[in-house]
Amino acid sequence: MEQENERADSSAQSGAAADLRDKAGEAAGAVIDEARNLAEERKSAAADNVGRLSHAVHGAADQLGEELPQAAGYIHSAADRLHTAAKNLRDRSVEDMAGDFANFARRQPVAALAGAVLAGFALARFLKSSTAHDRG
């Protein structure tokens, strides 16, 4: 009888642990989905900003083209690359880009670290300026 009670207690504990694991898994899945959605939204916004920058650079090149046609050609080329970058941002998933970065980091760890540091500084400056702009 005592063994049956111990088995029942053990079975109940196992069931409770399984329920807890399931709930934790569901919560983790929800957090991951939310993070993925937020990353996709930010990626889309970044692509839009790069696209607008591309149009602005083309406009500047058009104005400069009257006085310095050769320089305008280089600037148009840079604007075309910005346009391509914006298109690539829109077309690729966050997971694909993270995988590409991971592969790059395995091949070139120093360059990846330097790029991450520079991106961090740029992001911090951007966030700082956008927060100041929102307040003022």
Percent of the chain residues topping a pLDDT of 70: 85
Q: Tell which wins on pLDDT, 125 or 92.
A: 92
User: Is residue 2 pLDDT above 80, yes or no?
Assistant: no
Please measure the distance between the N-terminal and C-terminal CA atoms of the chain and give it in whole angstroms.
75
User: Is residue 127 pLDDT above 80, yes or no?
Assistant: no
Cα–Cα distances in Å, from 128 out to 30, 36, 47, 131? 29, 24, 20, 5
User: Is residue 126 pLDDT above 80, yes or no?
Assistant: no
Write the pLDDT tens digit of every residue in 18-74.
Answer: 787 888 888 888 888 888 888 888 888 888 988 999 999 999 999 988 888 898 899
SS3 per residue for the chain: CHHHHHHHHHHHHHHHHHHHHHHHHHHHHHHHHHHHHHHHHHHHHHHHHHHHHHHHHHHHHHHHHCCCHHHHHHHHHHHHHHHHHHHHHHHCCHHHHHHHHHHHHHHCHHHHHHHHHHHHHHHHHHHHHHHHHHHC
Q: Give the type of residue at 107.
A: R
The alpha carbon torsion through 54, 58, 64, 66 (nearest 10 deg) reads 170
Question: Mean pLDDT lowest for which of 46-50, 118-122, 127-131?
Answer: 127-131
pTM equals 0.59
Residue 36 tokens, joined:
């993925």
